[in-house]
């Protein structure tokens, strides 16, 4: 799930390996390092990678006559994401930089991009005073560019610093995000979901740690990042008629306060105000709600189930309902149902049910005492078999766990120990 963000760091380490040969090439006035290796690099690691599907973006290139590409921030199977300078903003528009998502030219990816654009228009076209609107990232601009092999849809967004899960990685020796950080940003998450569900009639369907993004604490962080990239552009690899650049996704350690996060990535979102419940597969399989697995129809409450499991991963780096027997890697829906039964109720495959040590209490080692009790009670309001019994995002905002000050186990060391929550 996190490979696209970890990959840039791995690639930077690989550059120091003597098996790679690096030469310097001239492109305009910029000196760019070109990596020569037969090994897959960056998005080339995607399953069924097709170079003809990706747009051949280059650092310094100008898209749509106004977006100058500064550096590649990341990649996925269907797109690359770049930091770009907006060179022709109107005076009253204060976004000088954007995160520019350049999608592949394949029909499925283009359909998802258009869906994300439609959902963004739906969410932000109507006037509203709902407090959750400010915690949802919208599409600022969209346009199409012609590549050698077809048309690519480009979506411009507000640039954001890093995904929420990365705070755990930066805090010390573990991937666990401290409980006080989670409790500090959960109101913004719940307000954004309530805005989606109650005001916009939208179901996200793909909540995970990557899609809760931390904003920049200071505009100077972005300015300094841009100066570093211009002084030392990312190396690239030329192959199959296309440059593949190293991602530069790190903006350094967070130095300011963490008051909120923004909900992003609506490429799989759907409308909830439909006559009949949706019934197609959604969500990463480890997060899938029972009504989705059972094909009995799902609605807004599927997002709430999803959030409950994401919290376990963020707080304890624990995949609560992994669908895997300990010591084995193979995923099984039967095993996952059995895990649900052990935690929530009865199952027709008793031989698969984990033993009595598999409990919510034993699955929450990162918390202690009353803090653990309150969190489990909070999570139980999200993890119920019956979707109608799940609390809404608005109802969860008043949960006692969010207002508690409790104990948790130490999770390493680092700047988060001194982070102030607003």
Is the Cβ–Cβ distance between 140 and 64 less than 8 Å? no
Q: What is the DSSP string of 219-266?
A: HHHHHHHHHHHHHSPPPEEEETTEEEEPP--------S-B---EE---
Which among 118, 194, 206, 265 is annotated as catalytic? 206
Token reading at 176: 């666990």
Q: Is 194 a catalytic residue?
A: no
> Which of 353, 351, 326 lies closest to 342, judged by CA?
353
Residue for token pair 């029972």? 290
Is the Cβ–Cβ distance between 193 and 212 less than 8 Å? no
Euclidean distance between the first and the last CA atom of the chain, given in angstroms as a whole number: 29
Whole-angstrom distance, CA of residue 34 vs CA of residue 20: 10
Query: For residues 401-421, b (16+ Cβ closer than 10 Å) or e, as one string?
Result: bbeeebebeebbebebeebee
Token reading at 367: 């918390």
Tell me 28's DSSP state.
Answer: T
Task: Determine phi and psi for 177, rounding to 5 degrees.
Answer: -85, 135
Whole-angstrom distance, CA of residue 162 vs CA of residue 261: 10
Binding residue ranges for ATP: 101
Q: Which residues are catalytic, by number?
A: 206
């Amino acid at each position: 799930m996190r490979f696209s963000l970890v990959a840039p760091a791995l690639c930077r380490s690989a550059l120091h390996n003597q098996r790679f040969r690096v030469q310097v090439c001239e492109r305009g006035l910029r000196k760019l390092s070109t990596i020569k290796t037969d090994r897959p690099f960056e998005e080339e690691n995607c399953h069924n990678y097709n170079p003809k599907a990706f747009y051949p973006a280059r650092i310094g290139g100008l898209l749509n006559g106004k977006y100058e590409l500064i550096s590649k921030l990341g990649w996925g199977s269907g797109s690359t994401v770049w930091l770009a300078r907006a060179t022709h903003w109107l005076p009253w528009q204060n976004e000088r930089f954007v995160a520019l998502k350049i999608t592949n030219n394949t029909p499925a990816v283009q359909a998802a991009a258009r869906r994300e654009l439609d959902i963004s228009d739906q969410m932000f076209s109507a006037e509203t005073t709902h407090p959750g609107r400010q915690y949802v990232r919208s599409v600022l601009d969209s346009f199409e560019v012609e590549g050698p092999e077809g048309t690519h849809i480009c979506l411009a967004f507000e640039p954001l610093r890093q995904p929420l899960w990365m705070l755990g990685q930066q805090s010390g020796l573990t991937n666990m995000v401290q409980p006080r950080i989670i409790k500090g940003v959960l109101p913004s998450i719940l307000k954004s979901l309530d805005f989606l569900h109650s005001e916009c009639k939208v179901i996200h369907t793909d909540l995970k740690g990557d899609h809760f993004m931390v904003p920049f604490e200071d505009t100077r962080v972005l300015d300094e990042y841009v100066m570093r990239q211009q002084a030392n552009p990312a190396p690239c690899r030329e192959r199959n008629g296309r440059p593949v650049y190293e991602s530069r996704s790190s903006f350094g350690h967070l130095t300011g306060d963490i008051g909120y996060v923004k909900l992003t990535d609506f490429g799989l979102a759907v409308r909830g105000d439909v006559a009949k419940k949706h019934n197609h597969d959604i969500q990463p399989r480890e997060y899938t709600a029972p009504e989705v697995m059972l094909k009995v129809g799902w609605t807004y409450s599927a997002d709430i189930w999803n959030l409950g499991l994401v919290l376990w991963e963020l707080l304890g780096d624990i995949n609560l309902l992994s669908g895997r027997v300990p010591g084995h890697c193979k995923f099984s829906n039967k095993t996952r149902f059995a895990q649900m039964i052990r935690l929530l109720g009865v199952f027709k495959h008793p031989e698969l049910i984990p033993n009595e040590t598999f409990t919510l209490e034993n699955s929450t080692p990162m918390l202690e005492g009353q803090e653990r009790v309150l969190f489990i009670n909070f999570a139980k309001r999200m993890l119920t078999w019956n979707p109608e019994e799940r609390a809404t995002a608005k109802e969860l905002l008043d949960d006692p766990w969010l207002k508690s000050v409790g104990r948790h186990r130490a999770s390493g060391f680092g700047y988060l120990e001194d982070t102030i929550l607003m």
